[in-house]
Chain A
Amino acid sequence: MSRVPGPFRSQLRAELTVVLRNGEQLLLTLIIPVLLLVFFSTVDVLPTGDVREPIDFLTPGVLALAVMSSAMVSLGIATGFERGYKVLKRLGATPLGRPRWLAAKITTVIVVQMIQLVVLVPVALVLGWDAGSARWLLAVGAVITGTIAFGGVGLFIAGRLRAEINLAAQNGLYLVLLLLGGMVIPFDELPEPLAAVAKCLPSGALADVLRDALVGGADRPGTSWLVLGAWAVVAPALTALTFRWE
Chain B
Amino acid sequence: MTSDASAGFSRIDRTERTLEVENLSVRYGEVLAVDSVSFTARPGEVTAVLGPNGAGKTSTIEVCEGLRRRSSGHVRVLGLDPHRDRRSLANRMGIMLQEGGVYPSARPIDVVRQYCGLYSSGSGKAANPDELIELVGLSERRRTAWRRLSGGEKQRLSLALALAARPAIVFLDEPTSGVDVNGRTMIRSIIRNLADEGSTVILATHELDEAEKVCDRVVIFDKGKVLVNGTLDDVRKARQAVRLRTAKPLDLDAMPENLVGWLVEEAPGNYTIEDAPQGLIGALAVWLSERGIDVIELRAGMSSLEDVFKDLTGGRS
Contact = CB atoms under 8 A, between A and B. Distances in A.
B252 interface: no
B111 A92 contact: no
A87 B105 contact: no
Interface stretch (B19-27, B122-130, B253-261, B271-279): B122-130
Interface of B: 65-67, 87, 90-91, 93, 95, 97, 99-106, 110-111, 113-122, 126, 128-130, 161, 165
Contact of B118 (A7, A18, A81): A7
Given A81-B103, A87-B102, A93-B93, A14 B119 contact: no
A173 B130 CA distance: 43
19 contacts: A1-B129, A5-B120, A11-B114, A11-B117, A11-B118, A13-B110, A13-B113, A14-B103, A14-B106, A21-B105, A81-B103, A85-B103, A87-B100, A89-B97, A89-B101, A93-B90, A94-B115, A94-B119, A95-B118
Contacts of B95: 90, 93
A169 to B, nearest CB: 20
Given A14-B110, A18-B105, A93-B95, A6 B87 contact: no
Given A9-B117, A94-B90, A94-B115, 17 more contacts: A10-B113, A10-B116, A10-B118, A11-B114, A13-B117, A14-B110, A18-B106, A85-B104, A87-B100, A92-B67, A93-B90, A94-B165, A95-B87, A95-B90, A95-B91, A95-B118, A95-B119
Contacts of B105: 18, 21-22
Nearest to B162: A93
B129 A4 contact: yes
Interface in A84-110: 85-87, 89-97
Contact of A85 (B91, B101, B117, B119): B101
A4 B117 contact: yes
Contacts of A82: 103
From A82, A92, A94, A96, name the one whose CB has the most chain B CB atoms within 10 angstroms. Answer: A94
Contacts of B106: 14, 17-18
A158 to B, nearest CB: 14
Contacts of A4: 113, 116-117, 120, 126, 129
Contacts of B110: 13-14, 17
Contacts of A17: 106, 110
Interface in A67-83: 81-82
Contacts of A96: 118
A11 B114 CA distance: 6
Contacts of B121: 6-7, 95
Nearest to A100: B118
B122 A90 contact: no
Interface string A7-41: 10111011001100110000000000000000000
Of listed A17, A89, A95, residue having the most chain B CB within 10 A: A95
Nearest to A81: B103
Contacts of A93: 65-67, 90, 93, 95
A9 B65 CA distance: 25
Contact of B97 (A13, A86, A97): A86
Given A10-B113, A10-B117, A95-B122, A90 B101 contact: yes
Contacts of B99: 86
Contacts of A7: 117-121
A178 to B, nearest CB: 26
Contacts of A10: 113-118, 120
Contacts of A21: 105
B103 A6 contact: no
A17 B115 CA distance: 14
Contacts of A97: 87
A14 B87 contact: no
A22 to B, nearest CB: 7
A85 B97 CA distance: 11
Nearest to B145: A21
A81 B122 CA distance: 28
A85 B102 CA distance: 7
Nearest to B82: A93
Contacts of B128: 1
B101 A14 contact: no
A121 to B, nearest CB: 30
